[in-house]
Amino acid sequence: MRLFLISVLLLPFAAFAQQSAAQADPVSEDQIKAALAGVSQHAARIEPMLKQLNPADWVAKGAPQTYVAQWNSALSEIQSIRIDMANLGQRPDQMSDGLKALFRIGSYHQGLRSLMGAVRRYQNPALADLIESVAAEDQGDVERMQQYLLELAGDKERQFDVVNTEAQRCRGMLSKQPARPR
């Protein structure tokens, strides 16, 4: 069941990752650790830029209060992403933690895009462009994470198939044995 759920959750990334995986070599542990560090460093670069934003001033100009919540959320997500990347760097083979981190990054980028619309309208379009360009720099590392997690899921699936096949073989052997007399 868990394997099915993981497969369903990774479907959005599957088409892109299959193309990338067919063209690229498998991601090594050193490469994934470098990618995780890269995502963390990109998040750290964005944080001071986000702190330059003044969402309370936007509200005074007529912006919805939700932008303040989005701004706070973005700052909080940066810290969480950095923690996730550090933890994954210690144990990159933890697929569930990798998936949670990948979903967090996706959610963070989506919230950031919404927030940048407000920055363009209520503060400074050039600053929004700068933040978006820095945020986009981590896409290569995020794609490497996606590829690594797909490879890891494939490996786990193959391991499960081997274990399942062996279990079926053992069950078959046991079922053919005569019952022991009492």
DSSP states of 101-140: HHHHHHHHHHHHHHHHHHHHHHT-HHHHHHHHHHHHTTHH
Output the pLDDT for position 24.
Answer: 58
Kindly state the DSSP code that residue 63 receives in the 8-state scheme.
-
Output the pLDDT for position 78.
Answer: 95
Sign of CA dihedral 3, 152, 7, 43: positive
pTM for this structure? 0.74
Output the pLDDT for position 131.
Answer: 95
Output the pLDDT for position 114.
Answer: 92
Output the pLDDT for position 172.
Answer: 86
- Residue 115's Cβ-side half-sphere holds a number of Cα atoms within 13 Å equal to 25
Rounding to the nearest 10 degrees, give the CA dihedral for residues 71, 74, 79, 85: -170
Q: What does the alpha-carbon distance between residue 135 and residue 39 come to, in Å, rounded to a whole number? A: 9
Kindly state the DSSP code that residue 64 receives in the 8-state scheme.
-
Burial 6-45 (b: 16+ CB within 10 A, else e): beeebeebeeebeebbeeeeebeeebbeebbebbbebbee
Output the pLDDT for position 174.
Answer: 85
Contact call for residues 137 and 39 (beta carbons, < 8 A)? no
Q: What does the alpha-carbon distance between residue 74 and residue 77 come to, in Å, rounded to a whole number? A: 5
Average pLDDT per block of 10 residues along the chain, 182 residues long: 43 46 70 92 94 94 93 95 94 91 94 94 94 93 93 90 90 83 76
Residue 150, both tokens: 């797909």
Output the pLDDT for position 9.
Answer: 42
